[in-house]
Structure 1
Amino acid sequence: MTTIPAHLAQYAADGSWTNMTIGDYARRWAETDPDKVVYLGDPAAPTYASLLADGEALARALHDLGLRTGDVIGFQVPNWVEASVINLAANLGGFVVAPIVPIYRDAEVIQMLGDCGAKAYFVAESFRGYDFAGMMDRVRPHLPELKHVIYVRPTERTPDYAALVEHGRGLNTPLEKVDPNALKLVLYTSGTTGRAKAVLHSHNTLDRVAQFGRKYSGVPNDVTLMPSPVTHISGFSGGLEKPFASGSQVVLMEVWKAKEAVELIDRYGVTSTVAATPFLQELCDAADAAGSSLPTFRRFACGGAAIPSELVYTANKRLAHACAYRVYGSSEVPLATPGVLPEESLELAAETDGRPLDYELRLVDDDGNEVPHGTDGEILVRGPAMFLGYADEAQTREALTDDGFFKTGDIGRITPSGSLVITGRKKDLIIRGGENISAKEIEDVLHLHPAIKEAAVVSMPHPRLGEGICAYLIPEGADQPDLPTLSAFVSEAGLAKQKCPERIEWVDTFPRTASGKIRKDVLRTMIKEKVAAEKAG
């Protein structure tokens, strides 16, 4: 039996966990409703029975390649049904999955796969014009533990995912019962240190997310539209886990396009989604343009970036049903506050981030003392869906209090209604369209440029994505490269294009504390005021 971390032991004892894995659910659905189509819109019309058969075949094929219980398999594929089969196969075979968002490139992939020691990696040969196969040729020499790279939907490269599944159909390898408390997921999230942190979850902690979400915000005959990457915690939980844990159907979107989303919602009777803030405004605009009020749509859980209350109010007036509400969470503590449903209170749905219904919540000052309601404090949470810890034990010790509360690094206050409102962030992160971006990681690259003496990267207002990337730079000499030049420099260093600065500000000096630390709060205020002035002008 897997050892349960001390901060989670109480949830094993009090029955908070189901002790079910996705593999267990898949087998049950394959018996009770085998012909139900799970992923609507996919040409293969995958059912519970066919997904289970494919998952078992892939699990056996991976075992035949030499993988064993506890080995890590990574995947970097778009929102394709194959991702669901890979995740299911890992559950059935006792493997650990390490999803990697498709926007990541050489530097991030090397760090993440090397850190988790992945033995196998599923990757698209190409997607949206990017040559992932070429990337793998470059990174494999840096990853001695990576024994197998399997290409999904390839035209030239081998081994081929589909062929591997077919190979597994001819094998009779027994699939052993998986411990629901075993490590299931390694998910990388950007931190303030520059290197992504490896967030660890078990089968039980992730299942708690799905089960609580179903009980709190579920609707009858739920059909979920999933535009968020299934390699991100929201997409992974809602797109890959939820249909097995709750029996819902899913419509996967490879790329967000608001007009297409409206068509899919109306065609398949979509009832819910969880997505980043920019999608809500664009969905409403596209629905208006199409002359549709989206009559089946009941839930839009909005998070991942700053959420203006007026946007939620407006959306709830424009569609047939008030469906939009704010939620708060992270890879470490998914769905920390599940929002206030619009039918309960339109005001609280728009102006707060909800109540911590499945978590205990504590707000503290810089000395760790609890602050009274109405006062800003750092948000600490503890609950049965929280992570096991980080792969780095030192990071885990730093992130948890002695009694097992996770220190989120976010600042908030509790309203008289008992709801949480996020007011700021202690962490030096940029949340761009729901993706966490480490400022230090970009700064480390910029400091390598000969024309840059010192760099300070901060968030700036972005009309669509909530936050963009602004680089304040002190020049080394007279040369001051322009934005395209520096963006190309960051990209050539192997970082994702989403991490390239969208604006640069050349300055002679930085505002600093008495100890010499850069006052990034001042820089954020400066660029916010400058952008506002430019917009007004």
Structure 2
Amino acid sequence: MQDRDVQHRDEEGPGRPLASIAEVRAAMTAPGQPFEMAEARIRGVRTRVWKNAPHTLRDVLELSRLHGDKDFLVYGDDRLTFAEHHARAAAFARALVDRYGIAKGDRVAIAMRNYPEWSVAFFGAAVAGAVVVPLNAWWSAAELEYGLADSGARVLVADAGRAERLAGVLPGLGVACLVARADGAVPAGAEAFEDAAGGPPAAPSEASPPGGALPDMPLPDVPLGPEDEATIFYTSGTTGRPKGALGTHRNIAGNPVSLAYGIMSAGVRAGRTVEELAAPQPRVTLLSVPFFHATGCHSVLVSSALQGGTVVLMYKWDVRRALELIERERVTGFGGVPTMAWQVLTSPDFAEFDTSSLTGVSYGGAPAAPALVDKIRERLPERMPGNGYGLTETSSVTTYNGGVNYLERPDSVGPPVAVCDVRVVGPAGEELPAGEVGELLIKGPNVIKGYWNRPEATAAAFADGWFHSGDLARLDDDGFVYIVDRAKDMLIRGGENIYCAEVEAALYEHPAVADCAVIGVPHQVLGEEVGAVVVPRPGAAVSASGLREFLGGRIAAFKVPAHVWFREQGLPRNPGGKILKTRLREELLGRPPVS
């Protein structure tokens, strides 16, 4: 899944002459500074890296233990401290090695909602040397089966809902299934995850000393290096089959430093020091996006683990519940995708709750409408909007635009963080001057290794350390990036990236569909919804409801078209046979669909 990560933070406005971007970068990365850089050879390419970043997820987990009995994960009445989380992750890591025979490089998949057990499984598998495969919990059984088979996962950690969804296919895949939060008996052939990870989290009334009742066991003795493979996050493919983005420990462990650099750089430009900006302060994040997204995992979970931030989880998104949790847990940051930020800020219940603890709003996964920025300034007048850009293939953060930078250039996604290079190229690969639009290329220690078992796709997207994003962009004279359009045939619904070819492929399986095209339909809250234009076969009877029912068992519910148009004439195409979707949008978006 391609994630465009947009982050919103409060920063001071300009009150003095601003330093240049180059001056800020030089000051923040100078020798002895927290953001000092070094150089490493990554897959044969000399690359700038953060000198002080953790090398691996094992390092992140070990450092997180220093936060002791502070709450790390909060879910309802369940609270897991940093020490308890470390102990449970260590117990699960030992179980993977000792009971399940997991060796370095084996794949361990996770398919569950945002429960505390997700994080325990993630860190436990990573420090056992496994490549962690977070699967989209919204996927259908067929999509989950594909992810398990494609990754070659040996162990699956699932919640009860996902385990039940997969019950019919797991025996044929040869995957050991551990079930978390099972309601009642564990399904036949599966085991309880809690048995391998030291029991469920404790409610406040059952709070125990740091580490809980678990023995203080050491992590497995598995040597890990920064370029060892760590994760496979699936990103939708233009061919209709998701591709596994193969990330390294350096990719994910370095992202918290990139995020911190991006957030602080605007403050430094406005005259504050890194020491001022880095002073410890409470960080409580209400997480409303999934852990299986780069934003949720890289930028919230891993960053919070390293920095001692508390993450408040929700069973499912509910605006009033979000406001209740902001008040109860003294949340300092929230947002998710723009949809969620908009719903909270425009809720008729907003004034009922104490939101004074908020110091910022974060949102990503889709462009933000100007109306959202205006609403943030209205409801949270002391907060200064900002945005940024990143993808699954760049391990979340690539650019950041906050504070005074945002005030100057609100239509930009900011300059790249110091360890990243960007350039804009034309059709022949030639580098374009500032102001001209072309494809955005990205280079840095955040760029993933490639696509799992997809050598051709890897060769097409990665070359000499550069990732071809497929996004159209331009740069200004100061290096700020402006995303102009999505070159890939994709739409973004409520933060979920949906490749049109995948939905079209499923539509073509219907016997009454002769031709079809999928387009994005603007939506005030979700950003876009899925729209389908269908040409039926002559004499065939087909309805919008019938198509949705047909698709329901083939693709995830969020990909099923919310709008359907039928047309008798063929779809408009260019001389090369490509459907002219721009013309379709012009023709259809002013006309009501069938549903």
Shorter-chain TM-score above 0.5? yes
For 2:561 and 2:591, locate their aligned partners in 1 and report how far apart those are by CA, in whole Å: 16
| Pairwise CA distance, 1:59 | 0.9
| Pairwise CA distance, 1:464 | 1.6
8 Å CA contact 1:430, 1:437 repeated in 2: yes
Question: What does 1:255-404 align with in structure 2 at a 5 Å threshold?
Answer: 255-273=316-334, 275-286=336-347, 289-292=350-353, 294-342=355-403, 344-346=405-407, 348=409, 350-358=410-418, 359-391=420-452, 392-401=454-463, 403-404=464-465
Question: What does 1:27-426 align with in structure 2 at a 5 Å threshold?
Answer: 27-30=62-65, 32-41=66-75, 43-63=77-97, 64-126=99-161, 132-144=162-174, 146=175, 148-154=176-182, 155-157=184-186, 158-166=190-198, 174-217=220-263, 220-273=281-334, 275-286=336-347, 289-292=350-353, 294-342=355-403, 344-346=405-407, 348=409, 350-358=410-418, 359-391=420-452, 392-401=454-463, 403-415=464-476, 418-426=479-487
8 Å CA contact 2:299, 2:396 repeated in 1: no
* Counterpart amino acid of residue 400 in structure 1: F
| Pairwise CA distance, 1:20 | 2.9
Q: What secondary structure, in the 3-state scheme, does the structure 2 residue paired with 1:477 have?
A: coil
| Pairwise CA distance, 1:41 | 4.9
8 Å CA contact 2:338, 2:366 repeated in 1: yes
Q: Deviations over 1:89-132 (max 9, x none)?
A: 01221111100121101221121111110000011112xxxxx3
Structure 1 residue aligned with 2:517: 456
Distance change in 2, residues 1:525/1:330 (3 Å): farther
For 1:457 and 1:93, locate their aligned partners in 2 and report how far apart those are by CA, in whole Å: 42
8 Å CA contact 2:335, 2:341 repeated in 1: no
8 Å CA contact 1:293, 1:319 repeated in 2: no
Question: What does 1:471-482 align with in structure 2 at a 5 Å threshold?
Answer: 471-482=532-543
For 1:215 and 1:417, locate their aligned partners in 2 and report how far apart those are by CA, in whole Å: 18
For 1:418 and 1:426, locate their aligned partners in 2 and report how far apart those are by CA, in whole Å: 21
8 Å CA contact 1:365, 1:377 repeated in 2: yes
Structure 2 residue aligned with 1:467: 528
Q: What secondary structure, in the 3-state scheme, does the structure 2 residue paired with 1:505 have?
A: strand
| Pairwise CA distance, 1:16 | 4.6
Q: What secondary structure, in the 3-state scheme, does the structure 2 residue paired with 1:228 have?
A: coil
| Pairwise CA distance, 1:19 | 4.7
| More divergent stretch after superposition (83-92 vs 413-422) | 413-422
For 1:423 and 1:528, locate their aligned partners in 2 and report how far apart those are by CA, in whole Å: 21
| Pairwise CA distance, 1:230 | 0.6
Q: What secondary structure, in the 3-state scheme, does the structure 1 residue paired with 2:191 have?
A: coil
Q: Deviations over 1:383-411 (max 9, x none)?
A: 1212111111211110023x322111111
8 Å CA contact 2:336, 2:363 repeated in 1: yes
Alignment partner for residue 10 of structure 1, among 8, 22, 47?
47
Q: Deviations over 1:289-342 (max 9, x none)?
A: 334573222232332113223321331232143243222111001444443223
8 Å CA contact 2:389, 2:413 repeated in 1: yes
Task: Report the RMSD for the aligned CA atoms in angstroms.
Answer: 2.6
| Pairwise CA distance, 1:226 | 0.9
For 1:142 and 1:324, locate their aligned partners in 2 and report how far apart those are by CA, in whole Å: 50
For 2:408 and 2:355, locate their aligned partners in 1 and report how far apart those are by CA, in whole Å: 22
| Pairwise CA distance, 1:204 | 1.1
For 2:490 and 2:180, locate their aligned partners in 1 and report how far apart those are by CA, in whole Å: 32
For 2:282 and 2:228, locate their aligned partners in 1 and report how far apart those are by CA, in whole Å: 31
Distance change in 2, residues 1:66/1:347 (3 Å): same
Q: What secondary structure, in the 3-state scheme, does the structure 1 residue paired with 2:178 have?
A: strand
Structure 1 residue aligned with 2:564: 504
Q: What secondary structure, in the 3-state scheme, does the structure 1 residue paired with 2:306 have?
A: helix
Bigger RCO (CA 8 Å, 6+ sep):
2
Q: What secondary structure, in the 3-state scheme, does the structure 1 residue paired with 2:574 have?
A: coil
Structure 1 residue aligned with 2:7: none
Q: What secondary structure, in the 3-state scheme, does the structure 1 residue paired with 2:447 have?
A: coil
Structure 2 portions without partners, runs of 5+ = 1-39, 200-213, 265-276
| Pairwise CA distance, 1:514 | 0.8
For 2:41 and 2:246, locate their aligned partners in 1 and report how far apart those are by CA, in whole Å: 12
Distance change in 2, residues 1:503/1:459 (3 Å): same
For 1:311 and 1:173, locate their aligned partners in 2 and report how far apart those are by CA, in whole Å: 45
For 2:216 and 2:169, locate their aligned partners in 1 and report how far apart those are by CA, in whole Å: 32
For 2:369 and 2:406, locate their aligned partners in 1 and report how far apart those are by CA, in whole Å: 17
Distance change in 2, residues 1:20/1:43 (3 Å): farther
Q: What secondary structure, in the 3-state scheme, does the structure 2 residue paired with 1:201 have?
A: strand
For 1:170 and 1:364, locate their aligned partners in 2 and report how far apart those are by CA, in whole Å: 53
Structure 1 portions without partners, runs of 5+ = 127-131
Distance change in 2, residues 1:343/1:5 (3 Å): closer
| Pairwise CA distance, 1:528 | 3.5
Distance change in 2, residues 1:172/1:364 (3 Å): closer
TM-score computed with the length of structure 2 as normaliser: 0.81
Distance change in 2, residues 1:134/1:15 (3 Å): closer
For 1:29 and 1:374, locate their aligned partners in 2 and report how far apart those are by CA, in whole Å: 43
TM-score computed with the length of structure 1 as normaliser: 0.89
For 1:448 and 1:28, locate their aligned partners in 2 and report how far apart those are by CA, in whole Å: 50
| Pairwise CA distance, 1:284 | 0.7
For 1:457 and 1:133, locate their aligned partners in 2 and report how far apart those are by CA, in whole Å: 31
* Counterpart amino acid of residue 313 in structure 2: L
Q: What secondary structure, in the 3-state scheme, does the structure 2 residue paired with 1:324 have?
A: coil
Distance change in 2, residues 1:41/1:138 (3 Å): closer
For 1:24 and 1:520, locate their aligned partners in 2 and report how far apart those are by CA, in whole Å: 48
| Pairwise CA distance, 1:371 | 2.5
For 1:21 and 1:94, locate their aligned partners in 2 and report how far apart those are by CA, in whole Å: 10
| Pairwise CA distance, 1:17 | 6.7
For 2:428 and 2:394, locate their aligned partners in 1 and report how far apart those are by CA, in whole Å: 23
Q: What secondary structure, in the 3-state scheme, does the structure 1 residue paired with 2:167 have?
A: helix
For 1:112 and 1:483, locate their aligned partners in 2 and report how far apart those are by CA, in whole Å: 29
8 Å CA contact 1:8, 1:384 repeated in 2: no
For 2:354 and 2:262, locate their aligned partners in 1 and report how far apart those are by CA, in whole Å: 24
Distance change in 2, residues 1:254/1:354 (3 Å): farther
* Counterpart amino acid of residue 185 in structure 2: E
| Pairwise CA distance, 1:347 | 5.2
8 Å CA contact 2:245, 2:392 repeated in 1: yes
Distance change in 2, residues 1:380/1:327 (3 Å): same
* Count of residues in correspondence between the two structures: 518
* Counterpart amino acid of residue 501 in structure 1: P
* Counterpart amino acid of residue 461 in structure 2: A
Q: Deviations over 1:327-377 (max 9, x none)?
A: 2111001444443223554353x4222221242111122222222322222
For 1:243 and 1:224, locate their aligned partners in 2 and report how far apart those are by CA, in whole Å: 8
Q: What secondary structure, in the 3-state scheme, does the structure 2 residue paired with 1:46 have?
A: strand
